[in-house]
Structure 1
Amino acid sequence: MSLRNRQLEKIMTTTISAFLSALGSEGPPADRAEDMALYGWLIGSWEMDTVHHLDDGTIQNWDGECHFGWVLEGRAIQDIWIRPRRPAPPTMYGTTLRIFDPGIGGWHIIWSDPLNQDYSRQIGRAEGKDIVQIGEDSRGLQARWRFTEITADSFHWIGEERAADSDPWRVTYEHFARRTAC
């Protein structure tokens, strides 16, 4: 490796380390800890089995992984969803930023998958034992994402869509996740 390439590699490593250090946090600030609990239980790493329900009724199955962490001085939770599990080439590689807003008593959810140019903005709240996020995706469809069957070490995530309020919700994706690390 040339001297120039070694210097560039060192700069990139230092920059990434500084960025990740500024982004990450050990936990929520004391004045937000109770509000952050709705999603705080997700912090850690998970493996998942994914089921994709296609319009024609067929089903595709994949494995995957997701990782959740405290960010922005603990005032937000960010995750990364990868399908299939690494080191296989990804078919989905996206991130969600979840920010609690005391003014609305809910969470602003911003999803971005640059690999597929898939984006969504939602509002998330507890509904009974579940967490429900409702908003719109980049195609203009209504999107509802639900965390159900929540335990300390597993959850079932259901993604649904519809074109209008009068239409029924249609399940498009399901993720069955199991914790691998805290």
Structure 2
Amino acid sequence: MTSAHTTNAQAPSSLTTSFPRVLHAHGPDPERKAKLELYSWLVGQWEIDVTTILEDGRTHAGRGEIHAGWILQGRAIQDVWMIPRLNRRRPDIEQLPGAGNWYGTTLRIYDPNLDAWRILWNDPATNVFTQQTGRARGRDIVQEGPDPGGGSMRWTFAEIEPASFHWTAERSLDHKNWRKQVDIRARRV
């Protein structure tokens, strides 16, 4: 009788492919390329200037970075957003008021049944998990979904250019009155 350990040692060579190799893709899936273009501009590396806006109107500034790439045979985009920048992260660093110190990832997956993108954001550094739906709204991209703290959230990519974009995070308790919580200006590196 063969043990599980022996069986695993004799696994076919296709199972020895590295995790990064099976996750990452070189570009969008050709069959879905037209629909995947909504977020394709995000692929790459970005520096970000972050402003948080507290409920009392006070603001705080920080810097961070974003890294984004194609994954899952080009059917999705994954990114990592971090504040502060990776080379400034250490255990004793002060939290950015109103946002905390992000180190999270987004999965952006086009859903042909919705003709929209399913957005999954998870940040174990700040213990935040959200699900949103993303769609084009004119030249902007708007992602909306329930806020884990109650109410609704809206995250908007605007002023999208090849080397820059503007991103805002807003929250509403009544889906009518929106309060901006985070404002980001990004530059391609």
The two structures share one fold, judged by TM-score above 0.5: yes
Distance in structure 1 (CA, Å) of the matches to 2:102 and 2:68: 16
Distance in structure 2 (CA, Å) of the matches to 1:143 and 1:120: 9
2:10 equivalent in structure 1: none
**1:138-177 to 2 correspondence within 5 Å?**
138-166=148-176, 168-177=177-186
Stretches of structure 1 that go unaligned for 5 or more consecutive residues are 1-16
CA deviation after TM superposition for structure 1 residue 115, in Å: 0.7
Residue identity opposite 1:172 in structure 2:
Q
SS at match of 2:132: strand
Stretches of structure 2 that go unaligned for 5 or more consecutive residues are 1-16, 91-100
1:87 equivalent in structure 2: 87
CA deviation after TM superposition for structure 1 residue 138, in Å: 2.0
1:31 equivalent in structure 2: 31
Residue identity opposite 2:186 in structure 1:
A
Task: Provide the TM-score with structure 1 as the length reference.
Answer: 0.87
Distance in structure 1 (CA, Å) of the matches to 2:173 and 2:19: 39
- Percent sequence identity over aligned pairs: 44
Distance in structure 1 (CA, Å) of the matches to 2:32 and 2:19: 23
Q: Deviations over 1:19-59 (max 9, x none)?
A: 11111000111111111100001110000100000111110
- 1:105 aligned to which of 115, 119, 136: 115
Distance in structure 1 (CA, Å) of the matches to 2:175 and 2:55: 19
Distance in structure 2 (CA, Å) of the matches to 1:119 and 1:160: 16
- Do 1:118 and 1:137's aligned partners in 2 also have CA atoms closer than 8 Å? no
Distance in structure 1 (CA, Å) of the matches to 2:23 and 2:150: 31
- Do 1:110 and 1:121's aligned partners in 2 also have CA atoms closer than 8 Å? yes
Q: Considering only aligned residues, what root-mean-square deviation do their CA atoms show, in Å? A: 1.5
Structure with max Cα Rg: 2
- 2:187 aligned to which of 160, 171, 178: 178
Task: Provide the TM-score with structure 2 as the length reference.
Answer: 0.83
- 2:145 aligned to which of 131, 135, 147: 135
SS at match of 2:153: strand
Residue identity opposite 2:117 in structure 1:
W
